[in-house]
């Protein structure tokens, strides 16, 4: 590989808020081949850098990226926004699955078992979101509180939620 590359890398930069701090995010992408990086199917390699713009914090972070998408299909500007959108999903659904339902420590390994448990976990998150009315949100109740609510009285409420034609487990008392 020649340096500097014949075709300059595809790059994009933006300033945005991350956890109430302002930071600069820069994404550089460059076309590659599987032989150059010893990675089957590689089409582009890249680097994502974050640099805090607030005083006091001096260090940023850097991530290496590799994708099979060809440069015309995966522009840095679009991918930089997409990367932020990916974290929106991670911060909402996946955080509930990981922290509340402890999905990462699941010992189930069969594809069917994973599918069934995944469906029930997502169903539980959906019920929890429906249960979290604006009034309950003001009381700072969470999906964990919903699970505790279902587990009350030796899981009678959870059993009622699954077996009743008109369940009342998710409502009030």
Structure tokens at 4: 């500097």
pLDDT of residue 9: 62
Residues in the chain: 173
Structure tokens at 53: 């713009």
Sheet with 10-18, strands from edge to edge, namely: 10-18, 21-31, 44-52, 61-67
pLDDT tens digits for range 71-81: 777 778 777 77
Task: Find the mean pLDDT for residues 4-24.
Answer: 76
pTM: 0.48
* Residue 115 neighbours by CB distance under 10 Å: 11
Structure tokens at 7: 């075709």
pLDDT of residue 153: 72
Q: How far apart are CA 34 and CA 40, in angstroms?
A: 5
Pairing between strand 61-67 and 21-31?
unpaired
Model confidence at 159, pLDDT cuts 50, 70, 90, reads confident
Every domain of the chain and the residues it spans? 10-99, 105-163
Q: How far apart are CA 86 and CA 74, in angstroms?
A: 15
């Amino acid at each position: 590989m020649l340096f500097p590359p014949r075709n300059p890398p595809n790059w994009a930069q933006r300033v945005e808020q991350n956890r109430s701090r302002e930071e600069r995010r820069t994404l550089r992408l460059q076309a590659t081949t599987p032989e150059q990086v010893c990675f089957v199917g590689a089409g582009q390699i890249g680097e994502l850098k974050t640099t805090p713009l607030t005083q006091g914090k001096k260090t940023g972070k850097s991530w290496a990226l590799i994708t099979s998408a060809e440069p015309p299909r995966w522009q840095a500007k679009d991918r930089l926004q997409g990367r932020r959108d990916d974290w929106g999903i991670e911060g909402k659904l996946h955080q509930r699955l990981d922290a509340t339902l402890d999905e990462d420590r699941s010992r189930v390994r069969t594809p069917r078992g994973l599918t069934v448990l995944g469906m029930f976990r997502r169903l539980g998150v959906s019920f929890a979101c429906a249960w979290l009315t604006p009034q309950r949100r003001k009381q700072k109740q969470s999906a964990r509180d919903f699970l505790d609510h279902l587990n009350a009285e030796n899981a009678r409420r959870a059993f009622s939620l699954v077996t009743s034609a008109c369940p009342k487990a998710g409502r009030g008392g």
